[in-house]
Amino acid sequence: MFESIYFLCVRIAALFNRKARSLSHGERGALNHLKEHIRQNERYIWFHAASVGEFEQARPIMERIRQCHPEKKILLTFFSPSGYELRKNYSGVDVVAYLPFATKRKVQRFLDIVHPEMAVFVKYEFWPNYLKQLHKRAIPTYLIAGIFRPSQVFFSWYGRGYRKCLTYFTHLFLQDEDSANLLAKYEIHNSTVCGDPRFDRVVEIAQEAKHLPVLQQFAQGSLVIVAGSTWLPDEELLARYFQENEDVKLVIVPHEIDKHHLHAIYHLLHGRYVRYTEATAQNLEFARCLVVDTIGILSSIYRYATVAYVGGGFGVGIHNTLEAAVYGCPVVFGPNYEKFREAHGLIACGGAYSVKNYKMFKSVMDGLLQDPQNNNSRRYVVENCGATEVIYKAIMK
C-alpha cells in the first residue's frame, strides 16, 4: 500500500519537477526496455542500486563476477535518474535499466521477464514486494554493504511488517558490528560483517587515476584545496577563504554543472577563475581558481590536492569521502555526516575533520595547509579493504 502511494506521488511530482519527470518517464519504459534486451534463454544475476554511490559499492563484485565467470549474464537496475543516466552505458554488465515501480503486477512481470538466478540489493534498498516475490520463487537474494540503525522503520513500534521483509534475504552482508547486533536483537542472524566494497573500489580507482595535464600545471608547487561535489553553502565558505588567502589555490568540482549553478559560482568568485573546459597553458599561468565544468574525473582530480573538501555536509549529507581519502590527503566536510560510517572512521583516525561554520573552516584549513602530511586517511582506507572477496566467494560458491 505504502509503495503504491509513493509511486503515485512520483507521478504527480513529475508534472512539476524535472528529476521526478525523468524518473517517471524512465520507469514507464522499463519493462519494454527489458523485454527488448533480456535474452529469454539466459538467466541473469541481478544487481539493484539506488544511485551512483550504491553502484560504486556493487561495482567491485560485478566486475569480479565478470572476470571469473565471463559466461554469466548481469543485469543492473537503478531507481534514480542520475544513476541511470551516468551509468546506462556501463560495459561491466549486459543490461542496464530502470527498476520498474514495485507494484505487485510490475514486480511479477519484471521477474517473469528477467528470470534472475540471484538478486543483489545494495545498502538501503528494501522493496517489500520485490523481496516477497523473490522469496516466493526461491531466488537467492542478498543485501550488500548493509547498515542498520535503531531509528529505521524496521525497529519502530509499527515496524514488524517491514522487519519481516529482512527475513526474505538469503544473507545480509553488513558494514559494521552494530548492525549485526541490532539485527540479532530481533532474531535475524543470517548476516556477516565484512565491511564496504567501496574501500576496494577506491583503491582500484586510485591505481588507475588519469593523468590530467591541466591539473598538473595548475597545482604544481602550490597549496591546493580540491573541493568535490560542492553545493552553494560549501562554495560560499570556499570562496570566502579563497579571497582571504592569496597563497592558496582552489579547485571546485560542483555536484551539478548546469548554467545556473556555474553562474552562481561566477558571482561568488567575482569571475576570478578559469573553467576546466577553457583552460590553456596561458590562462592557467596566473590562475588561482579552477572550476571543473565536466563530469567523470573527480576521483582523479583528488590526487592533486593538498587538502580535500567534500561537499554536501551543509545539506542532506556528505558525498564520497573515500575517493579523496585514498590519496592520503586530509579531508574536510560539513556537519551532516552522521549516517556515513566512513566519515566517523576517518575522523577517529585523524584523517578527516568536520566543520560547522566559517570560523571552524578557517581554523581547520589554516592548520592543515601548514602541515598536511599525515597519510592517516589512506591508512584507514587500506585497513578496511576486503569486503569484495568475502561477498564474491559467498554468493558464487
Dihedral angle, C-alpha 103, 104, 110, 115, nearest 10 °: 150
Neighbouring CB atoms inside 10 A of 29's CB total 13
CA angle 80, 49, 180 (to 5 degrees): 130
pTM comes to 0.85
C-alpha to C-alpha distances, 299 to 42, 95, 291, 320, nearest whole angstrom: 35, 25, 15, 10
C-alpha cell at 112: 517473469
Which domains, from first to last, does the chain contain? 2-204+386-395 (3.40.50.11720), 210-382 (3.40.50.2000)
Instruction: Kindly report the backbone phi and psi dihedral angles of residue 386, in degrees, each rounded to the nearest multiple of 5, phi listed first.
Output: 125, -10
If phi > 0 it is left, if psi is from -120 to 50 it is alpha, else beta; for residue 221 that is left
C-alpha to C-alpha distances, 131 to 102, 118, 125, 341, 382, nearest whole angstrom: 10, 12, 10, 26, 34
| DSSP state for residue 248 in the 8-state scheme | E
Query: Would you give per-residue pLDDT tens digits along the chain (397 residues)?
Result: 455 544 444 445 544 555 544 444 545 778 899 999 999 899 999 999 998 889 999 999 999 999 999 999 999 999 988 889 889 999 999 999 999 987 899 999 999 999 999 999 999 889 999 999 999 999 999 999 999 999 999 999 998 889 999 999 999 999 999 999 999 999 999 999 999 999 999 999 999 999 999 999 999 999 999 999 999 999 999 999 999 999 999 999 999 999 999 999 999 999 999 999 999 999 999 999 999 999 889 999 999 999 999 999 999 999 999 999 999 999 999 999 998 999 999 999 999 999 999 999 999 999 999 987 778 999 999 999 999 999 999 999 8
- The Cα–Cα gap between 209 and 169 comes to 36
Strand order in 289-291's β-sheet?
A: 274-275, 289-291, 248-254, 223-230, 307-310, 331-333, 352-354
